[in-house]
Amino acid sequence: MNFFIINGPNLNLLGIRNPKLYGDDTLLDIEKWLNAHDNTEGHSFLWFQSNHEGEIIDHIHKAIDNADGIIINPGAFTHYSYAIRDAITTVNIPTVEVHLSDIYSREDFRKKSVIKDACIAQYFGLKKLSYLEGFKKLLTALR
Ligand code: DQA
């Protein structure tokens, strides 16, 4: 199966961005790690990162006819982008929301996700393992 893995703003700076919260891995490290993981064998992943809301929405639209499932870490857009939420409900492709950090143990504004209800699950606080858990959930849902 084909999966889109979409990462939002500031995630291009993983590795130097607050490693205590987000881990030491760069986004490319996470990409290589997941692509090579035993559980993901036989599946294909298209990784995408953007700091721009509209580009993320355009990419979600490309999932129509091109992806069986989507894993998205919307970054700070998680907390206020109704447009990204609408894009996910519009394409109607099973989507999992993931976060490296525990958004529920941080600032109050991070406790609210406007994306969550558009997704089949949300994983947070597991650093890069959140992406793997998201993938496993999609596999189960698509079986
Ligand atoms: C994040 C959590 C968000 O609140 C934050 O704005 C990010 C990263 C995470 O992966 O923990 O950019 O999505």
Under CATH, which number does the domain 2-142 receive?
3.40.50.9100
pLDDT of residue 49: 98
Q: Is 17 in the pocket of ligand 1 (CB under 6 A)?
A: no
Question: Would you kindly state where each structural domain of the chain is located, as residue ranges?
Answer: 2-142
pLDDT of residue 25: 97
Residue 100 Cα to ligand 1 middle (Å): 7
- Catalytic site includes residue 123: no
Q: State the average pLDDT for the chain.
A: 97
Q: Which residue, 126, 62, 130, 124, is CA-closest to 90?
A: 62
Angle between helices 53-62 and 82-91 (to 10 degrees): 10
- Catalytic site includes residue 22: yes
Give the model confidence (pLDDT) of 83-138 as tens digits.
Answer: 999 999 999 999 999 999 999 999 999 999 999 999 999 999 999 999 999 999 99
What is the 3 state secondary structure string of 81-108?
A: CHHHHHHHHHHCCCEEEECCCCHHHCCH
Q: Is 76 in the pocket of ligand 1 (CB under 6 A)?
A: yes
Q: Which residue, 55, 59, 37, 57, is CA-closest to 46?
A: 59
